[in-house]
């Protein structure tokens, strides 16, 4: 087994500073420390620490000999008040950031009757005082955990499970904290501080779970034993006997479960098993076949799809852009309601639900709202409806589809509608392709919304087919910087404003962060992170306001708070509320939405994300006008890169 990296026993200059940047160039890594107001660039292995953390470093010139993180009182307070729940949490975090290392003293003074200076809202301060009184032991636990090397930003899930006993838990075996999302690098730091050997066999089971969790982040529900064993050898140099012992210990300790030669986390295995069981239960229900409502507007393939939805308890309707999926949904609803069935419409995101509602003229909800998601768990009550229609079904994960089907009563009908060529869900699993061929399905192929010779559709077809895009009628402009993208946006501005920009990733010169900053500076100059007139997007589901992740709006005013309009209604947020600029969005965030004019900007700097499905999803967000830009090599990479397969046994479980 390979040991975790350790410091050389050399001597040199010692400094204490704030980490302002981390970087990696090939095999070399390092960062920038701010020391006494000056920037110091260092090379060498940095500890597990985010930008903004304080480091105590030993240097030989600019080379790191050794560095340790120093946890400040402000960092502990930020994690502590992050444990709050309710509407005052965002305000408490904003105050904690503003007060820094003085946060504890400010709250203690307020508890004694001395209010902090403005702009601290009294209601937020009262909530912080209440939290400090009731959960004082947890703050001390955060401090104790920091002494073991478990940094505050990684402790929330551990504290939720172990409470004030978390310190004793990690001292017994720090590697068990892997099940609460603590990174391996942090686990190794904890083990070293606790005097545990780098070759301790308990590390092997943590490595196994960390790799399965890493695979889950890439969408896999589990890993075949041979694949996991190969990763343990390639990435951590474990030998076959060590691998066997590690997997046996991981399963015996409840970190992993083995099923038919695959390794899963217990939750992922339950989710996949339950999903398969509910698919079979709903699909095999004894229902009465219904007659489709007559409609002369439907094409032959649309009529076939409506007939399928009227006959089957569970079915899938697929089709590419412009093939009339929404029209088909409307005809399905008309037929079901004509037979006396109450029908619910829903979609995975707020934007997709709003678009479905606008297109059909019927109320549509997000799946999270329909299923009573409280921010952590889905509700378990049965849906009071005869049928459920789900649009944008390609975005459904195993967990989300499983939560829906568990709430469908026996004899209920479910119609899933989507495009299997679009991006898979962010969370583990990709049930839509697995269902096709296992449940009744219909495919829409005739294009209605745009002509068959539409340049957008021609480009989409080339990309998904793996053909290098050329001569489609969609003009391509080479742009290597945010400034050039902004200039291109100016050239395509309309009465509705500039086109929406889609990028593969957030970081880099052509990532959404840089593009949003450049667009805001050019189209809405001024001061402040958010300004009146800025387009914004909601980044989390907000039960208090009723706004859902993915909904877009416009800033009305910005000061100590931000007021923004969504769907004709004004909502107020704290400065650190769940809003981001939306001049540019990631392709994943744009999925489920459409715009008249779309600019797709792809760059090789996001090479890990570039696939056929990403480019296809991006270009099909355009209703009428598509502007292609970025670097041509990135578009070629997309066409040459199929979507990686996701490890899952759902299809086998449905056989």
Q: Cα-atom radius of gyration of the chain, to the nearest Å?
A: 27
Please state, in angstroms and rounded to a whole number, the distance separating the CA atoms of residues 304 and 443: 9
Contact 258, 305 (CB under 8 A): no
**Residue 521 counted as domain residue:** yes
pLDDT in tens, 434-493: 999 899 999 999 887 555 568 898 899 999 999 988 777 898 999 999 999 999 999 999
Assess whether 244 and 292 both reside in one domain. no
Last residue of a domain, one of 264, 299, 321: 264
**Residue 230 counted as domain residue:** yes
Assess whether 424 and 301 both reside in one domain. yes
pTM here is 0.88
Axis-axis angle for helices 73-81, 103-111 (nearest 10): 60
**Residue 385 counted as domain residue:** yes
Give the pLDDT score at 11.
Answer: 56
pLDDT in tens, 553-582: 999 999 888 999 998 899 998 777 789 999
Please state, in angstroms and rounded to a whole number, the distance separating the CA atoms of residues 5 and 543: 44
Assess whether 383 and 524 both reside in one domain. no
Q: Is the pLDDT of residue 496 over 50?
A: yes
Which residue pairs, CB below 8 angstroms and at least 24 apart, start in 181-184?
Answer: 181/154, 181/157, 181/213, 182/150, 182/154, 182/158, 183/48, 183/154, 183/210, 184/210
Task: Provide the pLDDT confidence category of residue 380 given band limits of 50, 70 and 90.
Answer: confident
Residue 216's DSSP bridge partners are: none
Q: Within a 13 Å sphere around the CA of 143, how many CA atoms are in the beta-carbon half?
A: 10
User: What rounded mean pLDDT belongs to the chain?
Assistant: 92
Query: Per the structure block, which two tokens stand in for 506?
Result: 């957030």
Give the pLDDT score at 561.
Answer: 85
Please state, in angstroms and rounded to a whole number, the distance separating the CA atoms of residues 654 and 401: 15
Q: Is the pLDDT of residue 364 over 50?
A: yes
CB neighbour list of residue 242: distance below 8 Å, 6 or more residues apart: 1, 201, 204, 232
Assess whether 472 and 605 both reside in one domain. yes
**Residue 40 counted as domain residue:** yes
Q: Within a 13 Å sphere around the CA of 146, how many CA atoms are in the beta-carbon half?
A: 22
Give the pLDDT score at 1.
Answer: 56
Read off the pLDDT of each residue in 341-352 and give the average, rounded to a whole number. Answer: 92
Read off the pLDDT of each residue in 329-356 and give the average, rounded to a whole number. Answer: 93
pLDDT in tens, 115-149: 888 878 899 999 999 999 999 999 999 999 999 99
- Cβ-count burial of 111 within 10 angstroms (0-12 exposed, 13-18 middle, 19+ buried)? middle
Q: Is the pLDDT of residue 547 over 90?
A: no
Lowest mean pLDDT among 1-5, 48-52, 307-311, 421-425: 1-5
CATH number at residue 379: 3.40.50.300
Read off the pLDDT of each residue in 148-175 and give the average, rounded to a whole number. Answer: 95
Instruction: Give how many domains the chain has, as a whole number.
Output: 4
Lowest mean pLDDT among 240-249, 288-297, 309-318: 288-297
Q: Is the pLDDT of residue 546 over 80?
A: no
Read off the pLDDT of each residue in 199-214 and give the average, rounded to a whole number. Answer: 95
Give the pLDDT score at 447.
Answer: 83
Give the pLDDT score at 127.
Answer: 95
Give the pLDDT score at 126.
Answer: 94
Assess whether 480 and 629 both reside in one domain. yes
Give the pLDDT score at 452.
Answer: 57
pLDDT in tens, 620-642: 999 889 999 999 999 999 999 99
Please state, in angstroms and rounded to a whole number, the distance separating the CA atoms of residues 120 and 399: 40
pLDDT in tens, 594-608: 899 999 999 999 999
**Residue 409 counted as domain residue:** yes
Assess whether 294 and 438 both reside in one domain. yes
Q: Is the pLDDT of residue 212 over 90?
A: yes
Assess whether 293 and 259 both reside in one domain. no
Give the pLDDT score at 7.
Answer: 44
Q: Within a 13 Å sphere around the CA of 295, how many CA atoms are in the beta-carbon half?
A: 24
**Residue 651 counted as domain residue:** no
CATH number at residue 40: 2.40.50
Q: Domain range for residue 225?
A: 120-264
pLDDT in tens, 34-43: 999 999 999 9
Last residue of a domain, one of 217, 232, 264: 264
**Residue 407 counted as domain residue:** yes
- Cβ-count burial of 85 within 10 angstroms (0-12 exposed, 13-18 middle, 19+ buried)? exposed
Phi, psi of 488 (to 5 degrees): -65, -40
Assess whether 64 and 136 both reside in one domain. no
Last residue of a domain, one of 424, 444, 464: 444
Assess whether 299 and 433 both reside in one domain. yes
Give the pLDDT score at 10.
Answer: 45
Please state, in angstroms and rounded to a whole number, the distance separating the CA atoms of residues 158 and 470: 52
Task: Provide the pLDDT confidence category of residue 9 given band limits of 50, 70 and 90.
Answer: very low
Assess whether 396 and 424 both reside in one domain. yes
Assess whether 174 and 246 both reside in one domain. yes
Assess whether 611 and 463 both reside in one domain. yes
Give the pLDDT score at 5.
Answer: 47
**Residue 528 counted as domain residue:** yes
Q: Is the pLDDT of residue 4 over 70?
A: no
Task: Provide the pLDDT confidence category of residue 6 given band limits of 50, 70 and 90.
Answer: very low
Task: Provide the pLDDT confidence category of residue 28 given band limits of 50, 70 and 90.
Answer: confident
Give the pLDDT score at 54.
Answer: 93
Q: Is the pLDDT of residue 335 over 60?
A: yes
Other beta carbons within 10 Å of 257: 17
Please state, in angstroms and rounded to a whole number, the distance separating the CA atoms of residues 307 and 128: 58
């Amino acid at each position: 087994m390979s040991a975790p990296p350790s410091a050389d026993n050399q001597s040199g200059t010692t400094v204490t500073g704030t980490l302002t940047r981390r970087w990696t160039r090939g095999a070399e890594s390092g960062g920038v420390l701010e020391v006494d107001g000056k920037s110091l660039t260092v090379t060498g292995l940095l500890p597990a620490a985010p930008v903004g953390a304080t480091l105590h470093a030993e240097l030989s010139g600019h080379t790191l000999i050794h560095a340790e993180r120093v946890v400040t009182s402000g960092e502990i307070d930020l994690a502590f008040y992050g444990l709050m729940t309710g509407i005052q949490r965002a305000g408490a975090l904003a105050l904690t950031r503003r007060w820094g290392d003085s946060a504890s003293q400010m709250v203690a003074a307020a508890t004694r009757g001395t209010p902090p200076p403005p702009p601290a809202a009294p209601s937020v301060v009262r909530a912080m005082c209440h939290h400090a009184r009731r959960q004082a032991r947890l703050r001390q636990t955060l401090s104790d955990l920091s002494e073991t090397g478990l940094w505050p930003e990684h402790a929330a899930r551990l504290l939720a499970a172990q409470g004030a006993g978390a310190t004793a838990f990690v001292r017994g075996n720090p590697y068990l904290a892997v099940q609460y999302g603590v990174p391996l690098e942090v686990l190794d730091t904890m083990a070293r501080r606790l005097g545990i050997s780098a070759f301790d066999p308990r590390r092997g089971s943590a490595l196994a779970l960390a790799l399965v969790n890493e695979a889950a982040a890439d969408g896999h529900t589990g890993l075949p034993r041979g694949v996991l064993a190969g990763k343990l050898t390639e990435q951590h140099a474990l030998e076959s006997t060590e691998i066997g012992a590690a997997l046996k210990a991981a399963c015996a300790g409840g970190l992993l479960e083995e099923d038919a030669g695959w390794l899963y986390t217990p939750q992922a295995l339950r989710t996949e098993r339950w999903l398969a069981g509910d698919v079979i239960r709903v699909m095999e229900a004894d229902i009465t076949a219904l007659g489709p409502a007559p409609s002369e507007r439907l094409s032959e393939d649309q009529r076939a799809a409506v007939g399928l939805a009227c006959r089957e308890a569970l079915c899938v309707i697929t089709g590419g852009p412009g093939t009339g999926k929404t029209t088909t949904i409307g005809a399905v609803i008309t037929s079901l309601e004509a037979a006396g069935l109450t029908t619910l419409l829903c979609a995975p995101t707020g934007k997709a639900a709003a678009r479905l509602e606008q297109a059909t003229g019927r109320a549509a909800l997000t799946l999270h709202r329909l299923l009573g998601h409280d921010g952590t768990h889905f509700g378990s009550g049965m849906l009071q409806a005869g049928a459920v229609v789900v649009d944008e079904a390609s975005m459904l994960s195993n967990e989300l589809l499983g939560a829906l089907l568990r709430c469908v009563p026996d004899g209920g009908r479910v119609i899933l509608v989507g495009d299997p060529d679009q991006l898979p869900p962010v969370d583990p699993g990709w049930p839509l392709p697995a269902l096709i061929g296992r449940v009744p399905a219909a495919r829409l192929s005739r294009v209605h919304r745009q002509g068959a010779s539409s340049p957008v559709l021609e480009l989409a077809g080339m990309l998904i087919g793996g053909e290098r895009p050329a001569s489609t009628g969609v003009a391509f402009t080479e742009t290597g910087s945010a400034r050039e993208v902004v200039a291109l946006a100016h050239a395509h501005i309309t009465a509705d404003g500039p086109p929406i920009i889609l990028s593969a990733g957030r970081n880099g010169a052509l990532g959404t962060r840089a593009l949003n900053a450049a667009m805001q500076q050019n189209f809405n100059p001024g001061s402040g992170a958010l300004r009146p007139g800025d387009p914004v997007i909601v980044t989390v589901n907000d039960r208090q306001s009723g706004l859902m992740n993915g909904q877009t709006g416009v800033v009305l005013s910005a000061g100590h708070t931000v007021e923004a309009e969504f769907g004709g209604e004004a909502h107020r947020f704290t400065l650190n509320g769940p809003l981001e600029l939306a001049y540019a969005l990631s392709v994943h965030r744009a999925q489920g939405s459409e715009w008249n004019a779309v600019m797709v900007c792809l760059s090789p700097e996001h090479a890990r994300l570039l696939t056929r499905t990403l480019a296809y999803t991006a270009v099909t967000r355009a209703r009428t006008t598509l502007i292609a830009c970025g670097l041509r090599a990135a578009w070629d990479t997309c066409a040459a890169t199929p979507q990686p397969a996701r490890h899952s046994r759902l299809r086998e479980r449905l056989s």
